[in-house]
Amino acid sequence: MSDRILIRYGELSLKKSNRKQFTDKMKFTIKRALKDYPNLEYLDCSMRFYIILNDVNPDLIIPILKKIPGIYSFSIVSYCEKDLDKIKELSCKLLKEELAHNEGTIKVNTSRSDKDFPMESLEISKAIASYLFKNIPNLKADVHNPKIVLNVDLRVEGCFIYTNIHYGLGGLPNGSIGKVELLISGGIDSVVAGYLGIRKGMEIEAIHYASPPYTSDMAVQKVIDLLEKLTPYTEYQSITLIIVPFTKIQQAIYDNCRDDYCITIMRRMMYRIADRLARERNALGILNGENIGQVASQTLESIQTIGSVTDLPVIRPLSTMDKSEIIEIAKQIDTYDISIRPYEDCCTVFVPKHPQIKPRKEMAESQEKKFDYQTLIDEAVNNVRYIKLTTNKHHDIFLNDDNIF
Ligand code: ATP
Ligand code: MG
């Protein structure tokens, strides 16, 4: 009976001037995510978008739609001609079907955006309700707190009847905001930051600093596994990972700089490399998992001293969250169990006993003069390795596989 899915967009309805650009992106993303179902058809009606099922089971489509940023909600609906008798009959059939697996009180809710239809919403609801009460025994109404709402949506393009609403991710269509470089560590936080960035419309490219032999291939594998959890949320179902060889830089810092400034300087180097890669690869900002007050490098003083090496916007979606809130999202997106695998990150090797919690920019700069970091940064950037991760794991493409560290 239910023949289509009605998609409702969320925040993009606020974007008046470039609304079309957003809705086009949205439609493109939906079609791409559902490309394995060639029988589906798509129908575009102003701010509504319909997926015509053509007998495809909606249960296969629902989990995919729930991962597409920009969808506020969707309903599996039944099309009906705009004829009151037909609407009553179909409403009755749908409600019986719903009651078969979900008992409870009901309410009929009509919305009439087609003002040419000759009755008002309330009148239509009453007419349908009285038909339902005649034809379904023991039916109970509750206008304030109904268990089941039978929605009748009378629009120019037809009448749509449904009892279900599924909530989507919200946010903005992926890629509609531009590209950012995500600094991903393998810990709990940065992958969650990546997810929140994607949900807010950012196209992400991921940068991971690896310090072999102090960090193992398993740490890189962990980052790959984490990013693979994010690919289904992206516009092209893929994310490029850039692995930066970081050992020499880290070694030089620890050989030359004051112990308590090592973390600050290491992070300044990470930001410098991210800034450089972002500019080379047309990204507009840097996204990371920093959380204010969590560790020494995340005091406001540290964030200021570290962030001063770049003038790109640094986006920190987790900055004010509690760890428990971050973990909750990590569990929702199924990254938590991967993140807690016990492999060393480059931040955890060479950790000084007493890192500076209020590092000063001038001191960091004077320590950095003790070695030629620019040459080391050039060398690291020239030897990055790219891995394209896709939702279908078999399609990994190694762009320059000779440059392994
Ligand atoms: P996470 O759980 O993401 O590791 P964290 O709370 O452990 O974060 P830090 O280790 O101080 O905090 O790192 C802060 C941020 O710096 C991370 O969220 C991440 O964005 C970035 N970062 C840390 N280590 C790396 C790395 N090896 N490669 C890329 N980015 C990193
Ligand atoms: Mg970490």
Quick one: which ligand is closest to 193's CA?
A: 1
- Select from 309, 347, 349, 356 the residue to mutate for testing ligand 1; criterion: most ligand atoms less than 8 Å from CB: 347
Residue 207 sits in the same domain as residue 117: no
Sequence-distant (6+) residues with CB within 8 A of 104 are 140, 146, 147, 148
Q: Nearest C-alpha to atom 20 of ligand 1 is from which residue?
A: 288
Residue 403 in this model has a pLDDT that exceeds 60: no
Q: Is 188 in the pocket of ligand 1 (CB under 6 A)?
A: yes
Residue 227 in this model has a pLDDT that exceeds 60: yes
Residue 265 sits in the same domain as residue 309: yes
Residue 393 in this model has a pLDDT that exceeds 90: no
Residue 186 sits in the same domain as residue 127: no
Please give the radius of gyration of the chain, using alpha carbons only, rounded to the nearest integer: 27
Residue 317 sits in the same domain as residue 352: yes
Work out which ligand 1 atom sits closest to the CA atom of 298: 11
Residue 161 sits in the same domain as residue 185: no
Instruction: Look up the pTM and report it.
Output: 0.89
- Tell me whether the omega of the peptide bond preceding residue 213 falls within 30 degrees of 0, making it cis: yes
What average pLDDT does range 26-30 have in this prediction?
91
What is the tens place of the pLDDT at every residue in 239-282?
Answer: 999 999 999 999 999 999 999 999 999 999 999 999 999 999 99
Q: Is 346 in the pocket of ligand 1 (CB under 6 A)?
A: yes
Residue 165 in this model has a pLDDT that exceeds 80: yes
Residue 124 sits in the same domain as residue 186: no
Q: How many angstroms does the Cα of residue 187 sit away from the middle of ligand 2?
A: 5
Query: Which domain-ending residue is among 167, 198, 215?
Result: 167
Q: Is 289 in the pocket of ligand 1 (CB under 6 A)?
A: yes
pLDDT value for 364: 96
What pLDDT band is residue 394 in, cutting at 50, 70 and 90?
very low
Residue 63 in this model has a pLDDT that exceeds 70: yes
Residues, CB within 5 angstroms of ligand 2 (ion): 185, 187
Domain that holds residue 246: 178-398
For residue 403, tell me if it sits in a domain: no
What is the tens place of the pLDDT at every residue in 348-377?
Answer: 666 777 888 899 999 999 999 999 999 999
CATH classification at residue 142? 3.30.2130.30
Looking up tokens 């650009």 gives: 21
What average pLDDT does range 188-192 have in this prediction?
97
Measured CA distances, 101 to 2, 95, 98, 132, 145 (Å): 16, 10, 6, 18, 19
Among 143-147, 239-243, 285-289, the range scoring the smallest mean pLDDT is: 143-147
What pLDDT band is residue 101 in, cutting at 50, 70 and 90?
confident
Query: Which domain-ending residue is among 135, 167, 199?
Result: 167
Residue 219 sits in the same domain as residue 364: yes
pLDDT value for 61: 96
Quick one: which ligand is closest to 212's CA?
A: 1
Looking up tokens 């609407």 gives: 87
Residue 99 sits in the same domain as residue 212: no
pLDDT value for 346: 62
pLDDT value for 353: 75
What pLDDT band is residue 397 in, cutting at 50, 70 and 90?
very low
Work out which ligand 1 atom sits closest to the CA atom of 188: 2
pLDDT value for 356: 87
pLDDT value for 348: 64
Q: Nearest C-alpha to atom 26 of ligand 1 is from which residue?
A: 185
Mean pLDDT of all residues belonging to the chain: 91
The answer to whether the beta carbons of residues 261 and 363 sit under 8 Å apart is yes
Residue 93 sits in the same domain as residue 142: yes
Residue 204 sits in the same domain as residue 330: yes
Total domains present in the chain: 2
What is the tens place of the pLDDT at every residue in 42-52?
Answer: 998 866 899 99
Q: Is 211 in the pocket of ligand 1 (CB under 6 A)?
A: no
For residue 173, tell me if it sits in a domain: no
∠ Cα 372 349 255 (to 5°): 30
Residue 377 sits in the same domain as residue 332: yes
pLDDT value for 402: 40
Q: Nearest C-alpha to atom 25 of ligand 1 is from which residue?
A: 185
